Structures are given as C-alpha cells and as structure tokens.
Chain A
Amino acid sequence: MENHKQLVIIGGGPAGLAAAAAAKKAGLDDILILERDSQLGGILNQCIHNGFGLHTFKEELTGPEYASRFIDQVNELEIPYRLNSMVLDVDKDKNVTYVSSEDGLQTINADAIVLAMGCRERPRGALSIPGTRPAGIYSAGTAQKLTNIDGEMPGREVVILGSGDIGLIMARRMTLEGAKVHVVAELMPYSGGLKRNIVQCLDDYDIPLKLSHTVTNIKGRERVESVTIAEVDENRKPIPGTEIEYPCDTLLLSCGLIPENELSKEADVEISRITNGPVVNESLETNVPGIFACGNVLHVHDLVDFVSQEAAKAGEVAARYVLEGIPESEHEIDIKTGGLVRYTVPFKVDPNRMDENTIVRFRVGNVLKGGFVNVYVDGERKIHKKRMIMAPGEMEDIVLRKEWITPETKEILVETEAA
C-alpha cells in the first residue's frame, strides 16, 4: 500500500461517491475513497423508501437505487475504494490515518482531502428526557438500520418523538412491517418534515401528530412500558396537567442530526457553531487549504440531489486544486445573513476564485409564507425573489453571480423579508 494519494475522500456515501466521480472526470486519477461500512452507499442503503433523484435523474428512485447509480459510476471510472476502513485521524498536513482488518493501520499523505463523513443522530441522553433507561429507546436511524438492513423489528407498540422526515418515514416503516405507531409528538408548532411525508406516512395510517408536544417521562425497568407526552408552552417547556401516558414498548427519537466533524476538528478545521459543520468558502474549501467538505458533514441536507450537486463541486475543485492549483485567497467577503436566514453555505466568497455562478444554500429559522429572499451587494439589491413558503425543514438557495462582486466589494447580504 502506497502512502501518498492525490485525493483522499473520507466517506463512501452519496457525497463521497459524487465527489469522487467529479474529481475523476475533472482529470484526477489518484483517488481513494475510505468507507467504514461493508458496502458503499452510506445512509442511502437503509433509505429504502422512494423520493430520491427527481432533480438528478428526473425519476423517483429509492435510496439504494440512487446510490447504485453513483456506485456504478465509481466502478466504471475505476476509482479505488477501501471498505470496512475507519478513518481515525486527519491532521492539518493532510495525513489521513485509517484502520481495517485487511490493511491494518495505514497513514496516507494526501494532496487534497474531501470530508464526506455525513452526520449522526442526537440521542436520548442529549435530550435529557427524564425517566428510566430500559431497552426499547432508539434513535430513528438505528431502528431503521435494524428493520431495513437486518430485517428485525425493534418494537411492537411505538411512540415517536420528532416529526422530521426520519421520524415520519419510520412511522410508516414500522407500521408497514407490523408494528402499531400510536402517536408522533413534535416539540415545535410545525413539523420539520415534508408535507408529502405527513400525508403518506401519518395520514395514510391514521397516526396522530401532536405539535407543540414533547416526551416528559419514560417508564419501564427492563423494556419501555410507557411514554408520557405533554404539551409545551411558547418557551417549549412542558405545561403541567397536560400529560398523557401512552403504554408502549418502544420510543423512537428523531430529534436532530449532527454533522460528524470529530476528524475535521483534529485537522484544525474551523467549525461553525450554527451548522456544526466546517466553515467553507466559495470553493467548499475549509480554512485548511486543500481540505474540502460536502454533504451532511458540511450541513444537514433534505434532498440527496443537492448533496450530489454540492459534492460534485467539491470534487471538481479538489481536482483543480491538485492539478493546477487554485488562486490564493486574496479578498474574502463574509456573507452576512438577515431576517430569518440562519446561515449560508458557503460562508464567504472570494471573487478571484468564484465561478460565474455560485450556488449559495441557506436555511430559515422559522416558517415564512409569502415572503421574499433578498440579496444585497454593498447595499444594492441584486435578487428579490418571492417565495410562497419557506420553512426550516426545506433548504433554500440563491445564485450569486461573479459579475456582481469585485475585489472592492465590502458586504454581501442574504436575507428574508416578510410579506
């Protein structure tokens, strides 16, 4: 095993696969994908429902089908990958250390790295839900792995906390596989998931959704015996007297995804407190030159199609970085946010390095109906788009044109404006 590569991609899920294919197509040959699972595909392997690929392939595919399109590409392009390989360390000199049964401990020095490690779920412990700690409490993704990869049911009588898409999808999956889902509770006054999933995962099966509710207690010594749900006030605190106890044997939690940046931190990559992902510029490059990030590790996505788009860009720029070099960062302009905009990816742009068009993705912190997205460059409004609806659960984007930005530009603002 050589110990130098032009490009190492950490993660063989949708982001890593798309980045690899793009890098290869851009002329880079010496690529290695490191994947910890026993197969490529990442989280898509357990997302057996459909709804993927509408933008990319103009077809509605299931997760495994979408993944196989990219796995096929990686195989056709003959891009090397190692499975069952866990990356243990990345340093700022771009040394990547991984371990596997087959290869033992290996350290590879890379000219460039693409971070594509995805994210993990917020566990019960981080929510400090009071009660006992019996068997029967799972994050929705873990339960999904058990049903969809192992074919085993983690429960019969289910309560779900969190109405994001994973919680909704699992409400349907558990029902279709024979369990009874009693209720989905959601802390916020709105659901974080797609309307389509509310209809096809809850309404179709008469599963009630309780907004502005949370779990206040779990009972059961060895296995969950009941879960108590209460209504919450405007400060999201439980209202005494509103508790309802649901006898059940399972609690599924879909309470947030956290980009998995432990390795990034070890490489001294700057992490944003808002996204929990790396701070990147227009090239999707982190503060460490030659380390790029894309997909859920950068910020949590809703549609895998946008992951593939974003990852293709990261792969393409990484290739350019290695083969030709990219111009030094001379004049970086931070993108300011206003209104309900919580963050933008990229966080900053340098006109010297921008493409003609740069996609800037963002999320809002609250639902806004009939509002506008505005983009100002040094006070001059460049974009004023009406959006019928914007919600925290739907990533948005605008396109920043290079021609609007010069080395003299001081301020770029992306904001929402109420109706």
Chain B
Amino acid sequence: MEKFDVLIAGGGVTGAAIAWQLARLDLKVALLEKEEDISEGTTKANSGIVHAGYDAMPGTLKARLNVRGNEMIHEMADVLNFDFNNTGSLVICFDEEHRPALEELYQRGLSNHVPGLRIVEKEELHEMEPELSDQAVCALYAPTAGVVDPFTLAISMAENAADNGVEFFFNTPVETIEKTETGWLVNGEFETKLFVNAAGLEADDLHNMVCEEKIHIRPRRGEYFLFDKDAGKMASHVLFQQPTAAGKGVLITPTAHGNLMIGPTADFTETKEDINTTAEGLAQVREKASMTIDHLPFNQVITSFAGLRAVPEGGDFIIGENADGFIDAAGIESPGLTSAPAIGEMVAEIIISKLHPGPNENYKPERRGFVNVNDLSREEWKVLIEQDPAYGQMVCRCEKVTEGSIKDACSRSIPARSLDGVKRRVRAGMGRCQSGFCSPRTMEIISETLNIPFDEVTKSTKGSKIITGRNKEDIQ
C-alpha cells in the first residue's frame, strides 16, 4: 500500500503544473495517468497559444489565471527550458462595423490588467503583417501573447516534478475512489490525504464519483492544419479573427518551432473519443482562415489533426475543494494552456492551507532542456560529438534530430517510450516527411535504449504497436 499526501489524477498540462508546484514542498506526491505518457489528452492537440488575457470575463478564474499564467510562462521558459516564443497577438477586425466590439475587448483587457494592449490601425497593421488580407481594418495588439510548444511545457514541468521527488504512475487510470478516515483510497492501492482531479475530459466522471453536486464536461473538437516551416514566415504574430455574431473565427499562427498553423473549428462531439479530423471541419478551417490571409499555401500542408476541449458547463474553470479533501482542477479549456502554471500555483495554495507543509529543502528549480543541435554553435556541437558520438548521427533529416537527442529523450526521469513520445520531446517525426524516413531508426533507438523488443515499439499508447509480426510468420 503506497501512502501519499497528495494524489493527482491526470498527466496533462494541468496535472503536470500542479505536480511541478507541489514538488517545491515537503510532500509525498503521486500523479496517476491513464495513458503511457504526459500530455496524451487535450494537451497534445491544441493551438499552443499563450494568451494575453483580454478574452475572459473580468472576475472569472479564467481571467485571473490567464494573466498570471502568461506572466509565469515568460519567467519559466529559460528555467525549465521549454520552447516559448513571445510573438505578440493581433485580434483582427475586418469591418468598421465591428470596431466598437474590438474596443470593448480592449477595455476588458484593461480590466483584466493585461499589459501593453493597444489598437493598431490599418497602415501599421499591414507593416506588422505584410501577408494580411486588405480587408483588415484594425486590430487589438497584445505584446505579452506568444506561442508555446504544449508538449515541452507539460513535459518540462512533469520532469522537474519527477526530478524533485514526485512519483509518476503511467497506464494507471483511476478506477475506484473510496473515502477513508485519513483521506482517500484509490484503486485499492494508493492511500492519499488529498485527491486532485486534473483528469481533463474525464474530470466529470471522477468528480461525480465523489461529489454531491455534479458537473458536466462536454467534449468540443477543434481541427487544425499544420504547414511546412517554409510557410512559417507568413505570420509573425498570433492572428485571431475578431469573434462576431457569425461565430468565433479561426486563427493563423506561427508555432514555437517556426511552422504555420491554422484552426480550430469548434464542434461538440458525441463521445470523448472523437479525435478524428473530418472533411467538413478541415474545409471550414480552410475557408475561414483564408479571410485573414487569402493566399495560404495549402500545397505546403504537412499534417492536420484534431483535439478535444474539455468544456465546463458553467463556462469558467472549476477549481477548488468541492468535497472534503477532493480538489477539482477541471474544465480547463482555453485559456487553459496559458493558465496551467497559475492553476498549479492556485491548487498548491489550497493544499498548503490544508496540510501546512514545509519547503522541499532539496528542490532544484532548473531543468536541463532537451538537446537540439540546431540551437548549438558549431563549436558547441563539435565538442558534444566528441563527448558522445551519438550526437553526430543524424536520424531525423527534416528536423535535424540526432541519435544522441533521441537517446536522451528516452533516458529522462519521465522517458519517452514510444515514437510519439520521442516526437513530442525532440521533434523527430515532426517535419515535412512526417517520420517516413526516420521512424524505423527511431524505433531501433527506442528498442536499444529502453530494452524493448523492436516489434513491441509503439506509436503512442500500448495498443499502437508498429510491427505486427515477422516476415512470413502468417504464411500457412
């Protein structure tokens, strides 16, 4: 029987942020994740935007935590070494008729204490974004906004937590939660004083197992296109379309790695498993995005994907102790990614007020980033190869990822264990050939480094093996 002070259910960006905050305290913390890696849910399929914070209604948790999260991400990027680019954002108004609504958004931003906001007019706007459609009239500029790699944000927080003593249990869904004298018994196996529900799309299931007042999380799908890095220069800021009566528009944004991304749609789905893209959804994204830039190079699309938002019924984040010893961090839809570090902070405060822990004397705040040889100078790279020749063996040609980087990703406190795990950490397979060239070699490295038979290597989760058998095995 394992005994913990805090058990976090859910290894997405929210759970990771909470674990990261709790790691600085003298607490025994466990995080349970039903899939085999961090960020397997909504965290792996979203816009990757660090919002400035003008969008949410003043007084809501969304508003407060967005602004605080934005601030924290600026500070954290160089300490935890994840990929963040402070691009700034523009909410574009396409019709003078809608200018008053844009002004309103600006005022809302001021109420939310968003720094640096201002309205830019047509001429300056087109100087900032030369590819922008002529129809653009003015825009709300937010200099603190940016783009982040959601995987490395989540993984860097989780790794730092693991490095500092938080225990992670993968392939461990929460099945049962029983109230005990001292707290909770989870899966008949984990004893904990406090339970934190960061279970994303399934947060309502967990909450409703325990709490009297039920909550309801609705899955809402967003579809995206990702373009080749050659198209990355078409936008230098996050470009939002001003929401109008017609609906919320789609965005065009550079990514933290220099690709271009457009999307998302917003359709409620039947089940929480509908993470497929659809012909209609993709067509919608294409059409809507073309309003912002009318000459998007669709022949340079390298992939499309869909993610499900966990939409809370009430509209705001559900964060708080909603049953004795049971703390929700649920309904984390946009601006969830940006808010995550601040959500971690807020949940940690609740836990501190309940358990009064001392600090973790051995806490180390820095985390060594994943090695990207593209970020090294020639000399630095040469020295690295001399120390470890694996950094001279190029595996992913499109993104220039070496064997050394992949081995490193498979050797961390929370190691990559699958092709997608490697892809999310060090980018092998993210490029224009979408792992067509590098995947067999990456599989070999995963197999060697983790001592997994080659034919057991998976794409992501347990049931996603790449190989089905040896040649001629099935010949009768």
Contacts and interface: CB of A to CB of B under 8 A. Distances in A.
A–B: direct contact at CB < 8 Å: yes
Contacts of B226: 125
Given A101-B385, A125-B301, A130-B276, A178 B472 contact: yes
Interface string A111-155: 000000000110111101011111100110110011101111111
Interface in B436-476: 436-437, 439-440, 454-455, 458-475
A216 B276 CA distance: 12
Contact of B471 (A142, A147, A216): A147
Contacts of A147: 471
A416 B24 CA distance: 75
B107 interface: no
B275 A146 contact: no
B45 to A, nearest CB: 9
A229 to B, nearest CB: 14
B382 A104 contact: yes
B471 A152 contact: yes
A60 B462 CA distance: 44
Interface stretch (B63-71, B200-208, B392-400): B392-400
Interface stretch (B133-141, B184-192, B302-310, B359-367): B302-310
B301 A126 contact: yes
Contacts, number: 148
A99 B386 CA distance: 12
Contact of B463 (A216, A222, A250): A222
A403 interface: no
B171 to A, nearest CB: 13
A84 interface: yes
B464 A142 contact: no
B302 A125 contact: yes
Interface residues on chain B, size class: 35 or more
Given A102-B389, A126-B301, A36 B394 contact: yes
Contact of B434 (A123, A141, A154, A155): A123
B393 A101 contact: yes
B225 A128 contact: yes
A219 interface: yes
Interface stretch (B212-220, B231-239, B241-249, B277-285): B277-285
Nearest to A218: B276
Contacts of B434: 123-126
Contacts of A145: 440
A153 B385 contact: no
A350 interface: no
Contacts of B459: 134-135, 222
Chain A to chain B: the 3 pairs with minimum beta-carbon distance, closest first: A125-B303, A178-B474, A222-B463
Interface of B: 225-226, 273, 275-279, 281-282, 301-305, 378, 381-382, 385-386, 389-390, 392-394, 397, 400, 432-437, 439-440, 454-455, 458-475
12 contacts: A99-B394, A101-B389, A105-B378, A123-B432, A126-B303, A128-B304, A130-B281, A130-B304, A152-B455, A153-B467, A153-B470, A177-B475
